[in-house]
Amino acid sequence: MNNRRTFLKLLTLLLVVAFVLAGFTPAKPATAQMGMKFGAIIKTEANEYWQAMKKGYEFAAARYGVTVDVGSVPSEADTAQQLALLESWLGRGYDALLVSPITPLNLNSALAAATKSGIPVINVDELIPADAAREAGIDIALRIASNNYQAGQLAGDWVLTNIPAGSKVAILEGLAGNVSGQNRRDGFADTVKDKMNLVASQPADWDRAKALNVATNILQANPDLAAIYACNDTMALGAAEAVAAAGLTGKVAIIGTDAVPEALEAVKAGRMAGTVAQFPYEIGVLAVENAIKLKEGRPIPTKIDAPIKLITAANIDKPVQPTPDPKIPALKFGAIIKTEANEYWQAMKKGYEFAAKRYGVTVDVGSVPSEADTAQQLALLETWVGNGYDALLVSPITPANLNSGLAAATKAGIPIINVDEIIPVDAAREAGIDIAQRIASNNYQAGQLAGDWVLANIAAGSKVAILEGLAGNVSGQNRRDGFADTVKGKMNLVASQPADWDRAKALNVATNILQANPDLAAIYACNDTMALGAAEAVAAAGLTGKVAIIGTDAIPEALEAIKAGRMTGTVAQYPYEIGVLAVENAIKLKEGRPIPSRIDAPIRLLVASSIQ
């Protein structure tokens, strides 16, 4: 009898683990999700940016067989009218609201009412700060917007690829204190750091005339300047005038941001090298895709950096925003995982198979016997390069073992999506690999999720502690920082100490922390092994149920500890959904559409109520 009980207990736990790893598996294999209805509020159709987003919503509705009602107001001054519109929509029975507030605050009261009514909210383009949302009582399932730091990175990547190392470059910044301008500047500067000679980074206040003057002065001091990155196109056009006046057109590369019509004409004429474009159409599509997953009860990312793209002479004759047929074409993708001996990769394979069935495409999934078989995985990839795949979706065993095969794929013109085991940008560039997209879990966000739970459930000012991983381990550092940054100024972080991913060491470290802080309210452990050690320390101190313990990884024993009340929660990853995301973006790639350069895969904090 005891053996039977043990077996049933183990079987139950394995089913829970399978659910966590795979995520919810939707029943419908077709693209149509009949009956789903979403409300999308944009700013104003008087602006072509929002017109494009509306078209994206309409395309997604047609492609996925859902209803999307799009509402707007006459101008971006009509904040009260936009709020009234949203209030009138709360009783319409929408499965989710996709909202672009005119300001980060003007819709907050209605969005709080939506949250109270249980209507999921996706925040699009104009982002509501996390603190403001929390204070207003708004649950935001997902935020989607362009990433200005990445815009600067794209410009920097072009410079590294096309300008000799060590050349002189300069930046024209926006208004002092403007966050988007600072992020664009930093993205460029960080990318070219130690590889180019950044001789100037000066504000031109988004102004064309001022940019002309600033660029003129920089050129006079540096007549051998090779490139200028301007944080918007208005300044880029001013810089182009300065370069022309100096007789240096074609010798000084100028890259702007925004892809305004005059900048695109300047790129065509050779007065500018490029401009970074945003894609509101694709933002609308992303919002609908994720609203569908929300309705199906599936995990989605908490934040998506919308696609941006550097437009240059090489691609300016192609449509900046292709508008494909709603019917998905017949496509064939090759997906290489690590090994099916591991349930994590089994789940990803199931995600690939589900996506193939739902979207009507072919996905061949290949693997090797174990994670020691790096050479065998490379040999598999090499045989696939000539198979006629429309894209390759690859999870290398190490960040470097597939590089030669991927370089051959790039040379053959096969798009690559890098999944889970990420190849560093510098390594890919040096190997000659073009990676269209990287998809992986975000460890900083894992720490944030744990911190968000603490803020929502523990009294402000309470004592909390962190158990860190091995010193120097990047994933552990990111988890630690995500938690610490989230609770900073709101909780009393009394300790943040390494326990080296080890259970016994975590027991000792947590014991010492508890002895020094018997009123400790919560411990965040950067993996579940340490969380289980902390749970032992808390139990030994007679504090089980009084000290919240949150781990990361959702391993079976941690899930069992949550069910038994010895742990509060653990942050889970979803390889099944990673596979689905890779296929969705491979389809867009083949259709010639822009996709995000990176997607942070969904993660979720699992607590007792979500694993029972």
- pLDDT at residue 22 above 80? no
Q: Record the tokens describing residue 590, joined without a space.
A: 């083949």
Taking only the tens place, the pLDDT of each residue in 190-247 is 999 999 999 999 999 989 999 999 999 999 999 999 999 999 999 999 999 999 999 9
- For the entire predicted model, the pTM comes to 0.79
- At 611 the pLDDT is 82
Give me the domains of the chain, ranges plus CATH numbers.
37-144+284-292 (3.40.50.2300), 149-278 (3.40.50.2300), 332-435+576-583 (3.40.50.2300), 443-573 (3.40.50.2300)
R_g (Cα) of the chain, nearest Å: 25
Ramachandran angles phi, psi of 314, nearest 5°: -70, -25
Per-residue pLDDT tens over the stretch 232-244: 999 999 999 999 9
Strand duo 274-278 + 253-257: pairing: parallel
DSSP 130: H
Single out the residue of 98, 88, 4 nearest to residue 42, CA to CA: 98
Task: Give whole-number Cα distances, 528 to 362, 422, 457, 551, 560, in Å.
Answer: 37, 23, 20, 5, 11
Percent of the chain whose pLDDT exceeds 70:
94
pLDDT band at 32 (very low <50, low <70, confident <90, very high): low
- What is the DSSP secondary structure assignment for residue 91, as one 8-state letter? T
In this predicted structure, the answer to whether residue 5 has a pLDDT above a threshold of 80 is no
Give the integer Cα–Cα distance in Å for 140 and 418.
28
Q: Out of 29-33, 421-425, 453-457, 606-610, which region has the weakest mean confidence (pLDDT)?
A: 29-33
Q: How far is CA 152 from CA 5, 186, 268, 399, 435, in A?
A: 59, 7, 21, 25, 18
